[in-house]
Structure 1
């Protein structure tokens, strides 16, 4: 007998020249030549965790991610300072450059012969600029386009007859917009005319009545006749 082999489940006697064989289905068995060293390890048993190693270097920066959605609009900021004043604009057109008028507030009786013409007396003057207010007439000093206005309150003294009333320019009813013809009766008739006409320097504007039939015209009471001109442009 060389030696006894004793296990947990039995014993055996090993003689000289006999082999000692180790077998296991769960253990790693390593035999080292020279000293009959047998190492038996259990590969399923994990040893204690070693100390944590040092932190490795930072890796390279990754690609940029996609752009996120637009956030809500923020509050409006405060108003900025007022900017400098801009350059002055071009000069506008002149205002009223010439105007004036005459009127009557006295009762009048005007006799018109058949086919004749009679002027209306205008003994009261309005304020005026750059026109000449004469006896029952307005003389133009500066040529241009003028607005001419006529007002007259009249009646026939008896029966009725045809009358043409309006503004004359240089003694003639030359502007249709400033002339009207109608049958005058004993009831008061109110005539109001206005028009824009071109007048030359020294033109004379008057208020007149004419009739193919002839008759007597009464004006009044109160302000019964008015003639005015206003220059609008050159």
Structure 2
């Protein structure tokens, strides 16, 4: 005998209720994190060592470096500072005439990118000043001159003191009391040296005389003989 319709409704309701309770009692499924593919470890990259930029300096010489005189002494100074300072790079040009000096100055600045230029002869003075005005980012040093700009200076030594001592030696060693002096140009610097030499001669030998002969070029060993 089948149950009545009311009884079926009651049973159905009970089943539904039990199902709902069962569903409510089931804990929610937690979603885990999405799977992550393994990443290969990256080796640390050391930053490149900074490249130290060297200061570049140029020397312009009026004579050859083998003259064993003025230019040779300047070049010995260049070699000394190049060895002393590891951050310094040097270049030079020898036997540069006064007329060619502007071209060498521009070449060193524009092509060789030097930071400092030493012009080592009095005759380079005007060319040095003009180059300093054309290239305000470059430093210039001119030997024995008297003109300057914000980016150019001058340097020299008290050479008259050595000239005086040379005169003392010449005055003491002469056997004829006639002493020759070969000079380049009659400019104040050279005349000052002649005077110092002569005072040295007279300090030890008042009877001696000094005979000055002018070359006019700064370097002319053939005529100097």
Q: Quickly name the TM-score band, shorter chain normalised.
A: under 0.3
TM-score, length of structure 2 as denominator length? 0.24
Computing the radius of gyration from Cα coordinates, the structure with the larger value is 1
TM-score, length of structure 1 as denominator length? 0.24
